[in-house]
Amino acid sequence: MWILIFAALLMFVLGFAVHKLGWHFLISGYNTMNEADKAHVDIKPVARLIGIMCYGIGFIFLIVGLIDWFGLVVPIEPLFIVLILFIVVILWRAQKYDGNIFDDTGRLRPGGKKKLIPIVLVSVLLLTVVPGILIWFSQPTEVTLTDTALVIEGSYGQTVPYDEIVDVILTNVPDVERRTNGAATSSQLTGHFRTTYKEDVLLFINRDTTAAIRIDWSGKPIYLNLETNEATEQLYEEVITR
């Protein structure tokens, strides 16, 4: 939480420094150009765009930090999708003010495509890696029953030995008060949460399923379910026979 809030404040300061104070040496790419190349860059609109980008990033970080602070159980992937698209659009808009890449008519100069390679790579990474992480957190729970343990796969995964299980019950998805260290997407709740009964638990919950299995064992209580109530009930029957 505090890291996100600090990062938000840092982005606001950087945006102000570039946009209002004219600290153009902070602009990546521009600060490594020779003087001849810098002379072909219309730096004022570039600085304005970079400042706006920093403000936008800071604003999103601040929202996510506040969501974490208050423990709100709301999906955050829309915020990150907006953030990614915002950054990519700003970066590409800034390129048109680089006279080393485009001429006065907006056409690519000879060798301009080569100079666009870094921005293409950054855009591809932003548009693939971050959504990939969000998709990973949104995957349904996978549970494997081995001879000795119940294994929950994926992020925050756990291995629960049968001989450490105290009780297993089929119940409903608990009401959650706040997220303490977990991921809340539109389809999944994964990780550490606190229920409305002030109990700290581990959740591996599909939001579209009402049934859940509660496992009390030597570790933190676990609630998990599968993609349907029927599949969850079948898993429960298999677990209690172990």
Flag whether pLDDT at 1 surpasses 70: no
Please state, in angstroms and as integers, the Cα–Cα distance from residue 148 to each residue in 145, 198, 212, 216, 235, following that order: 8, 31, 22, 16, 16
Query: Could you read off the pLDDT of 66-115 as tens digits, one per residue?
Result: 887 887 777 777 888 899 999 999 999 999 999 999 988 888 999 889 99
Q: What is the pLDDT of residue 65?
A: 87
Average pLDDT over residues 193-217: 95
Q: What is the pLDDT of residues 26-73, one digit of tens each?
A: 999 899 999 999 999 999 999 999 999 999 999 999 998 888 788 777
pTM of the full predicted structure? 0.69
Q: Average of pLDDT values for 111-135? A: 88
With pLDDT > 90 as the criterion, what percentage of the chain qualifies? 69
Cβ atoms of residues 200 and 163 within 8 Å: no
